[in-house]
Structure 1
């Protein structure tokens, strides 16, 4: 004689990575999780509905973005408490990587619900894998401040980092960011920029920050698409004899040429920011 016991399916939140451009990059596991989901929380429901249609799926969608995430957490936790399977997706790539979801994941875990990552596409990892820059250590800074003063301040704080730096940037600010990198990091810092990754017009630009800026300005499509900007870390160790040599070199050059030109030359040699060297050269000239 057998007996059956009613079982309650535990609710689970799945963090599902979706393609950053090429739909063929969606994993089989991601398809399965989305097919089994009772509710899909999406950054932009219109955008995500097209992905689900491509997969032949019709699912209840709940908008979850930067402006409403706190308000939507309760609704999703209630669904999980009812035993529902909830999938979180962003417009592209891995949720929470410069995308919404941090508050939801934190609260779901605090409430005791299982949270499972469904790995897949991520723009920063894809870009780094093909950039040819050191990847043993990297620092992902996401999107820098939109206004120039804030952006320059953030870059100044990162200038001495020895790890490879990774940024995301939008098409209407990419030229401004590259110019700020030239000004803050010097002309000679190595840089690789990935545009429209995995898409038809995928492009990589590489060289010094100054050379990459020139390439972008010369490319009629250089301000279109989504960008991953990668900059080699600072090889000059703060407090080393190399820093002292920069002062010595500045002293020699300002005696023979304009301060601006002297700062530019030392920036190219040392990797120290041109603006910082210009101010230092003015001080040395005054002394």
Structure 2
């Protein structure tokens, strides 16, 4: 690794700690500072791999006010940005810092690694040659508008959802896209209780309506024919 100042975006496992790469471990040991979404969560990961690099918090609630100071430090430091799980800036903080670094001519490098959307997409059995990643749908304002737009989407759609909103999200998708639209729901990917259920939106609603759902959720939905 070059000794010049730089920001490294380092993916971390979404469950199974064996999914971290050798390169990621090296970078996390060599940088001056690790920016972590939750230092308590990341602390467990670093302790497991005996990584003693200093950590600082960088999360959705402080990123706007800390970006300027971090960019100033990055003129002379090497930093790694990690999220609680997966790749930074994918439905997680990171975009603002990356944009600011590039504007100031600071080197940015993103390592390949774990992310929930690709395993869920490939495992769904739905076409994966062309797809659209929606992340989390708006909770309130703009949600209905977005669902109406998705009803006309011909590509496979990938969405993130929280467990307590899963059934409501499936019901709304069925309302706008049709109950017979094929879909899959993946949860706890790479973990002990990993599960993927496939079927029509109606079948998935019936299955999860009587279940206690836990873990991170990825919904994959067939595009319009």
TM-score using structure 1 length = 0.75
CA distance in 2, matches of 1:97, 1:9: 27
| Regions of 4+ moved over 3 Å | none
* Alignment match, 2:224: 234
Give the 3-state SS of the residue equivalent to 1:13 in structure 2. strand
Matching of residue 111 in structure 1 with residue 104 in structure 2: yes
Aligned length: 224
Give the 3-state SS of the residue equivalent to 1:155 in structure 2. helix
- Where in structure 1 are there 5+ consecutive unaligned residues? 1-7, 236-287
Matching of residue 197 in structure 1 with residue 189 in structure 2: yes
Superposed CA RMSD: 1.4
* Alignment match, 1:241: none
CA distance in 2, matches of 1:195, 1:153: 26
Matches within 5 A, 1:151-162: 151-162=143-154
Which structure: greater helix fraction? 1
- Where in structure 2 are there 5+ consecutive unaligned residues? none
CA distance in 1, matches of 2:143, 2:220: 16
* Alignment match, 2:82: 89
Matches within 5 A, 1:168-207: 168-207=160-199
Instruction: Report Cα offsets for 1:33-83 as digits up to 9, x if no partner.
Output: 00101101111111111111111112221211122112211232222212x
Structure of greater Rg:
1
CA distance in 2, matches of 1:152, 1:175: 16
Residue from 134, 137, 152 that aligns with 1:141:
134
* Alignment match, 2:60: 66
* Alignment match, 1:41: 35
For residue 184 of structure 1, report the CA deviation from its aligned partner: 1.1
Which structure: greater strand fraction? 2
* Alignment match, 2:200: 208
Residue from 91, 99, 102 that aligns with 2:95:
102
CA contact (8 A) 1:16 1:87 kept: yes
